[in-house]
């Protein structure tokens, strides 16, 4: 029994909620989740099979790997080809296609690329290899940004002068509003549970206010997801859109203030380019000027190849929930989990990878 | 990146703690939290404890589910009486 | 063993050092009538006309892990490949590629482990080879074993599951995910400490037990790389029946669960080295389980699913929360996710 996990996988309770959703659902509704963890959990537990046909779940740009610019990978690869560089990265990035290679392929060619679970491991590697430049690839939304921030402040505390961050960190809400601005039709958001653990609820306030859409901050276990879908359905049936917390055991209204402050001290917002969405103002995070010397993008000179785009890849539209993976000409043929073209297929929770695994072609 | 997992704090040493998920142990950093004690459950994400788990709220969430059966029956009865759909 | 402490290039060159190594290490521990003759090729007499013949290379890292080592694995893996075809494993060959500088003590431990496992599996290692390569040209030691077994006529259909029909039951002998997660925790790259043991074991004894109580075994496979999920998807791929697996019936040890949750792995795709998946006529299921429960490698045997008429060619999972979804073949390695 794993505490705080198994209790929320109780079959009887899940089926009870399924019955309640069926009872109150009177018309077609579409809810979008914007979190890779939610995409995976929904498919893994077979949630769609528990819902009435009136309710459709869409997968939005919740996978930070999927929305990462190909140029980021190309640059990381270019860094890895420098003699004195060690690249440290989360496993999620290793197979994301760059213009002509992947970090995995480069690793195979002998480049110093190490998969780590935590930025703390990267700091250790920096400490143990004083003659190398250790670059940590910072990807992820608000859940992960505090770790990278801690990485920077810890490096300073430890007196390390060979630790660098290459940041592609992003924040969620600009993507959520951009989608609706672009005309994606949904009836509510299943909001990311762990992002909200850090940020609290305030980042979603615009969504019911300006767009009339409900946001339910959801946990990741089957009970959590079902309850969140029930709450969104109720909100819609009553025409009462608001921000609600389903994941009360981990999300507080104000979030984690200490982590928020740390992020604010280290990062500042910038415009950033999202695959499928283009440039979203204020959606990215860059290191502040006082940390310039640890910013790989500024401190380490490197030549990067020209970014190549793929023909036929509709990851952008899939990320926006406008098309499904089966609408893509490349899906299951030129683009497969073993041989991905777009990022939606590379990442385990990319919409296409999840679709391929759980629904087939 | 969302994968975070509830873990129990077994011991604390300065900024670091030994935490366990089931019987798997891991060394995690507590630097993103204040007021954490041995025995608390935290959410572990990429080597950091990012939030404390509230036992009361956890229990409350489950209690709501448990109440469904009664609630459903009550609503069904009410619907039959009034002829109105209650959401 | 003399004063040598590490393997040198000379040990693989065929001369005096090689002969010393063979006599004092391999023949000493593996000893059997065929091997002791030390002919270039082992001369064997085989009981039946059909043979099961298999080969596998073992490159596991780390070479010593909780629950086993590369040597034990090299024997079990090949014995199991022969045994799941319904054949009786008899003879193994063992070829070693050793990195210059490899400690002799470690080699001896590996050889001892192989000898012990071969003895308990009832097989003889009858021929072999040793090569030594320059430092850096292989990772410590690689072992390739090839196995032969005699295959009775009545078991010919088993490898391809040709007699499988709707209603047949799918049985596994125990918990899933142990070996893969034991290796992950032993590698310690991710700094996790978990008391996890590999399930590495020779299954031919268990399989004999099973085939002695049922003549309606349709299919057998050992669930190695790619895990249980790969076996069940391969089992029905391109066939006119489907597979339905019940998640509730799967056994996952707590330590394995914890690590899988932490890293975002699905235990159904994690490697095993002592797990047998078999398909049998449903009327024989009870007897088979009884026979398995009596054996040391079958104590946790259980029915995990069945052959169904729905979704032909595909395997589906009834999830523990009452939902259902497809089980697909794994593409590439599972990597620890943060997301």
The Cα–Cα gap between A71 and A306 comes to: 8
Residues B64, B37 within the same domain: no
Candidates C314, C319, C332; nearest CB to A360? C314
Instruction: Please judge whether A36 and B2 are an interchain contact, meaning their C-beta atoms are less than 8 angstroms apart.
Output: yes
Domain that holds residue B43: 1-53
Candidates A140, A223, A237; nearest CB to B65? A223
Residue A217, φ and ψ in degrees, nearest 5: -80, 115
Single out the residue of A113, A76, A65 nearest to residue A305, CA to CA: A76
Q: Check CB contact of B16 with chain A, cutoff 8 Å.
A: no
Q: What is the number of alpha carbons within 13 Å of residue A94 lying toward its C-beta?
A: 25
Task: Encode C299-333: b = buried (16+ Cβ within 10 Å), e = exposed.
Answer: eebbbbbbbbeebeebbbbbbbbbbbbbbbbbbee
C-beta of residue A168 within 8 angstroms of C-beta of residue A69: yes
Residues B34, B9 within the same domain: yes
Residues B37, B63 within the same domain: no
* pLDDT tens digit sequence for C171-230: 999 999 999 999 988 876 555 666 689 999 999 999 999 999 999 999 999 999 889 999
C331 pLDDT higher than 50: yes
* pLDDT tens digit sequence for C110-127: 999 999 999 999 999 999
Q: Which is more confidently placed, A273 or C95?
A: C95
Q: DSSP letter at C267?
A: G
Residues B1, B31 within the same domain: yes
Instruction: Please judge whether B60 and A197 are an interchain contact, meaning their C-beta atoms are less than 8 angstroms apart.
Output: no
Residues B21, B3 within the same domain: yes
pLDDT score recorded for residue C332: 55
Residues B67, B49 within the same domain: no
Instruction: Please judge whether B22 and A2 are an interchain contact, meaning their C-beta atoms are less than 8 angstroms apart.
Output: yes
Residue A181, φ and ψ in degrees, nearest 5: -60, -35
Candidates C322, C335, C339; nearest CB to A94? C335
Domain count, chain B: 2
First vs last C-alpha separation in chain A:
35
C-beta of residue A225 within 8 angstroms of C-beta of residue A190: yes
Residues B65, B84 within the same domain: yes
Candidates C254, C261, C339; nearest CB to B5? C261
* pLDDT tens digit sequence for C31-45: 999 999 988 899 888
Confidence band, pLDDT 50/70/90 cuts, at residue A45? very high
A297 CB neighbour count, 10 Å cutoff? 18
The Cα–Cα gap between C14 and C5 comes to: 19
Candidates B4, B47, B61; nearest CB to A117? B47
The Cα–Cα gap between A31 and C110 comes to: 57
Please tell me which residue of chain A has the smallest CA distance to B5: A5
Locate C278 and state its tokens: 């078999």
The Cα–Cα gap between C300 and C295 comes to: 10
Instruction: Please judge whether A91 and C337 are an interchain contact, meaning their C-beta atoms are less than 8 angstroms apart.
Output: yes
Candidates A2, A20, A250; nearest CB to B43? A250
Chain C residues in contact with A10 by the CB 8 A cut-off are: 321
Residues B8, B32 within the same domain: yes
The Cα–Cα gap between A318 and C78 comes to: 45
C279 pLDDT higher than 70: yes
Instruction: Please judge whether B53 and A5 are an interchain contact, meaning their C-beta atoms are less than 8 angstroms apart.
Output: no
Percentage of chain C lying above the pLDDT 70 cut: 94
Cis peptide before C62 (omega within 30 of 0): yes
Residue C58, φ and ψ in degrees, nearest 5: -120, 120
- ∠ CA(A49), CA(A55), CA(A58), 5° rounding? 85
Average of per-residue pLDDT across C125-135: 95
Instruction: Please judge whether C322 and A50 are an interchain contact, meaning their C-beta atoms are less than 8 angstroms apart.
Output: yes
Residues B49, B66 within the same domain: no
Chain A residues in contact with B75 by the CB 8 A cut-off are: 23
The Cα–Cα gap between B80 and C48 comes to: 75
How close does chain B come to C79, measured CA to CA in Å?
Answer: 32
Alpha helix (H) residue ranges in B7-85: 55-82
pLDDT score recorded for residue A92: 82
Map tokens 């159904």 to a residue: C268
Interface probe for C, chosen from A17, A45, A136, A193 (most Cβ of C below 10 Å), is A45
Instruction: Please judge whether C257 and B22 are an interchain contact, meaning their C-beta atoms are less than 8 angstroms apart.
Output: yes
Q: Check CB contact of B74 with chain A, cutoff 8 Å.
A: no
pLDDT score recorded for residue A277: 81
How close does chain A come to B45, measured CA to CA in Å?
Answer: 8
Locate C63 and state its tokens: 């070479």
C-beta of residue C315 within 8 angstroms of C-beta of residue C326: yes
B42 pLDDT higher than 80: yes
Residues B37, B68 within the same domain: no
Please tell me which residue of chain B has the smallest CA distance to C188: B26
What's the predicted TM-score (pTM) here?
A: 0.87
Locate B87 and state its tokens: 């959401």
Instruction: Please judge whether A144 and B60 are an interchain contact, meaning their C-beta atoms are less than 8 angstroms apart.
Output: no
The Cα–Cα gap between A18 and B66 comes to: 13
* pLDDT tens digit sequence for C12-21: 888 898 999 9
Candidates B1, B24, B45; nearest CB to C258? B24
Strands (E) located in A197-328: 214-217, 243-245, 267-274, 278-287
Helices (H) and strands (E) in chain C, counts: 10, 14
Instruction: Please judge whether B1 and C339 are an interchain contact, meaning their C-beta atoms are less than 8 angstroms apart.
Output: yes
| Average pLDDT over chain C, rounded to an integer | 92
DSSP A73-110: HHHHHHHHTSTTEEEEE-GGGTT---SS--HHHHHHTT
* Check: complex ipTM more than 0.85: yes
* Edge-to-edge order in the sheet of strand A55-59: A55-59, A29-33, A188-191, A214-217, A243-245
Chain C residues in contact with A110 by the CB 8 A cut-off are: none
The Cα–Cα gap between A292 and C95 comes to: 55
pLDDT score recorded for residue A345: 79
Chain B residues in contact with C197 by the CB 8 A cut-off are: none
Percentage of chain A lying above the pLDDT 90 cut: 68
Q: Which of residues 34-53 of A touch C (CB under 8 A)?
A: 36-37, 40, 43-50
Instruction: Please judge whether C262 and B27 are an interchain contact, meaning their C-beta atoms are less than 8 angstroms apart.
Output: no
Q: Check CB contact of A22 with chain C, cutoff 8 Å.
A: no
User: Which distant-in-sequence residues (6+ apart) come within 8 Å of C16 by Cβ?
Assistant: C10
Average of per-residue pLDDT across B68-80: 66
Q: Show which residues on chain C lie within 8 Å of chain A, measured between beta carbons.
A: 189-191, 248, 254, 257-258, 261, 263-264, 266, 314, 317-326, 328, 331-332, 335-339
Q: DSSP letter at C333?
A: -
Q: Which is more confidently placed, C139 or C46?
A: C139
* pLDDT tens digit sequence for A318-330: 877 778 888 998 8
Please state the separation of Cα A160 from the chain's center in Å. Answer: 29
Confidence band, pLDDT 50/70/90 cuts, at residue A351? confident
User: Which residue(s) pair with A282 in the sheet?
Assistant: none
Q: Which is more confidently placed, A56 or C45?
A: A56
Q: DSSP letter at C14?
A: S
Average of per-residue pLDDT across C243-261: 93
Candidates A2, A7, A90; nearest CB to B62? A7
Is A288 exposed, middle or buried (CB count within 10 Å of its CB: 0-12, 13-18, 19+)?
Answer: middle
Q: Check CB contact of A288 with chain C, cutoff 8 Å.
A: no
Locate C39 and state its tokens: 């002919």
Chain B residues in contact with C195 by the CB 8 A cut-off are: 23
How close does chain B come to A282, measured CA to CA in Å?
Answer: 19
Instruction: Of A156-165, B66-75, C253-262, give the lowest mean pLDDT range.
Output: B66-75
C135 pLDDT higher than 70: yes
Single out the residue of A138, A140, A132 nearest to residue A166, CA to CA: A138
Interface probe for A, chosen from B1, B35, B85 (most Cβ of A below 10 Å), is B1
Residues B20, B62 within the same domain: no
pLDDT score recorded for residue C187: 76
Instruction: Please judge whether A46 and C317 are an interchain contact, meaning their C-beta atoms are less than 8 angstroms apart.
Output: yes
Interface probe for C, chosen from B6, B18, B22, B49 (most Cβ of C below 10 Å), is B22
Locate A306 and state its tokens: 């020209």
Average of per-residue pLDDT across A29-57: 92
The Cα–Cα gap between A159 and A193 comes to: 35
C-beta of residue A337 within 8 angstroms of C-beta of residue A357: yes
* pLDDT tens digit sequence for A175-209: 999 988 888 889 999 999 999 999 999 999 999 99
The Cα–Cα gap between A274 and A295 comes to: 20
Task: For chain A, give the longest Cα–Cα distance.
Answer: 65
The Cα–Cα gap between A106 and A99 comes to: 13
Locate C104 and state its tokens: 């002799």
Average of per-residue pLDDT across A73-84: 96
The CATH code of the domain that includes B18 is: 2.30.30.140
The Cα–Cα gap between B75 and A47 comes to: 25
Instruction: Of A94-108, C90-104, C231-245, give the lowest mean pLDDT range.
Output: A94-108
Chain A residues in contact with B68 by the CB 8 A cut-off are: 13, 16-17, 20
Domains and CATH numbers, chain C: 9-155 (3.30.1330.10), 169-327 (3.90.650.10)
Instruction: Please judge whether B26 and C339 are an interchain contact, meaning their C-beta atoms are less than 8 angstroms apart.
Output: no
Residues B6, B34 within the same domain: yes
Domains and CATH numbers, chain A: 6-62+173-245 (3.40.50.11750), 65-171+255-298 (3.40.50.11740), 315-359 (no CATH)
pLDDT score recorded for residue B1: 38
Single out the residue of A148, A247, A194, C189 nearest to residue B31, CA to CA: A148
The Cα–Cα gap between A127 and A110 comes to: 21
DSSP A220-247: SSHHHHHHHHHHHHHHHHTT---EEES-
């Amino acid at each position: 029994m794993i505490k705080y996990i198994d209790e929320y996988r109780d079959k009887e309770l899940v089926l009870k909620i399924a019955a309640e959703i069926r009872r109150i659902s009177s018309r077609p509704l579409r809810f979008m989740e914007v979190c890779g963890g939610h995409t995976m959990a929904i498919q893994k537990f077979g949630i769609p099979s528990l819902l009435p046909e009136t309710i459709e779940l869409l997968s939005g740009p919740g996978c930070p790997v999927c929305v990462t610019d190909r140029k980021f990978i190309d640059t990381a690869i270019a860094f890895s080809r420098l003699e004195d560089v060690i690249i440290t990265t989360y496993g999620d990035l290793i197979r994301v296609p760059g213009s002509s290679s992947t970090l995995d392929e480069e690793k195979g060619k002998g480049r110093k690329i190490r998969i780590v679970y935590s930025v703390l491991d990267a700091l250790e590697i920096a400490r143990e290899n004083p003659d190398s430049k250790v670059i940590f690839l910072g990807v992820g939304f608000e859940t992960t940004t505090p770790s990278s921030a801690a990485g920077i402040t810890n490096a300073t505390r430890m007196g390390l002068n060979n630790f660098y961050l290459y940041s592609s960190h992003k924040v969620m809400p600009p993507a959520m509003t951009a989608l609706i601005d672009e005309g994606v039709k949904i009836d509510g958001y299943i909001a990311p549970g762990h992002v909200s653990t850090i940020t609290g609820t305030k980042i979603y306030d615009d969504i019911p206010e300006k767009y009339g859409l409900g946001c339910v901050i959801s946990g990741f276990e089957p009970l959590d997801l079902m309850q969140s879908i029930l709450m969104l359905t109720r909100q819609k049936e009553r025409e009462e859109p608001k921000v609600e917390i389903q994941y009360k055991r981990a999300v507080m209204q104000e979030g984690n203030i200490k982590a928020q402050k740390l992020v604010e001290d280290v990062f500042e917002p910038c415009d950033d380019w999202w695959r499928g969405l283009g440039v979203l103002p204020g959606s990215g995070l860059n290191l502040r000027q006082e940390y310039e010397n640890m910013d790989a993008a500024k401190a380490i000179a490197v030549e990067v190849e020209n970014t190549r785009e793929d023909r036929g890849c509709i990851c952008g539209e899939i990320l926006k929930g406008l098309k499904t993976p089966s609408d893509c000409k490349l899906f299951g043929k030129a683009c497969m989990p073993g041989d991905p073209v777009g990022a939606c297929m590379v990442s385990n929770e990319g919409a296409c990878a999840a679709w391929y695994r759980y629904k087939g072609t | 990146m969302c994968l975070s997992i509830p873990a129990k704090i077994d011991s604390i040493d300065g900024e670091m703690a030994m935490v366990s998920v089931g019987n798997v142990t891991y060394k995690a950093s507590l630097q993103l939290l204040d007021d954490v004690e041995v025995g608390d459950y935290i959410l572990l994400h990429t080597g950091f404890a990012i939030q404390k788990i509230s036992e009361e709220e956890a229990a409350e969430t489950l209690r709501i589910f448990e109440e469904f059966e009664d609630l459903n029956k009550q609503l069904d009865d009410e619907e039959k009486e009034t002829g109105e759909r209650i959401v | 063993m003399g004063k040598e402490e590490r393997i040198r290039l000379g040990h693989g060159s065929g001369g005096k050092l090689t002969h010393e190594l063979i006599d004092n290490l391999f023949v000493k521990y593996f000893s059997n009538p065929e091997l002791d003759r030390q002919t270039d090729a082992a001369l064997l007499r085989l009981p039946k006309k059909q043979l099961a013949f298999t080969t596998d290379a073992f490159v596991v890292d780390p070479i010593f892990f909780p629950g086993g080592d590369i040597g034990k694995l090299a024997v079990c893996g090949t014995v199991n490949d022969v045994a799941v075809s319904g054949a009786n494993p008899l003879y193994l060959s063992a070829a070693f590629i050793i990195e210059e500088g490899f400690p002799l003590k470690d080699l001896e431990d590996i050889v001892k482990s192989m000898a012990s496992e071969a003895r308990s599996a009832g097989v003889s290692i009858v021929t072999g080879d040793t090569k030594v390569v320059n430092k850096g040209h292989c990772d410590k030691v690689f072992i390739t074993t090839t196995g032969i077994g005699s295959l009775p006529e009545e078991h010919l259909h088993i490898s391809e599951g040709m007699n499988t029909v709707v209603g047949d039951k799918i049985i596994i002998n125990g918990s899933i995910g142990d070996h893969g997660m034991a290796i992950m925790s032993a590698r310690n790259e991710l700094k996790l400490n978990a008391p996890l043991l590999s399930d590495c074991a020779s299954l031919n004894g268990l399989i004999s037990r099973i085939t002695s109580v049922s003549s309606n075994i349709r299919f057998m496979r050992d669930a190695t790389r790619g895990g249980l999920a790969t076996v069940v998807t391969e089992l029905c791929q391109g066939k006119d029946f489907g597979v339905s697996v019940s998640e509730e019936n799967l056994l996952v040890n707590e330590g394995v669960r914890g690590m899988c949750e932490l890293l975002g792995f699905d235990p159904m795709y994690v490697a095993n080295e002592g797990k047998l998946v078999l398909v049998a006529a449903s009327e024989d299921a009870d007897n088979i389980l009884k026979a398995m429960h009596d054996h040391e490698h079958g104590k946790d045997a259980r029915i995990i699913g069945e052959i169904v008429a729905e979704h032909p060619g595909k395997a589906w999972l009834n999830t523990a929360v009452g939902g259902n979804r497809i089980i697909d073949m794994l593409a590439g390695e599972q990597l620890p996710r943060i997301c």
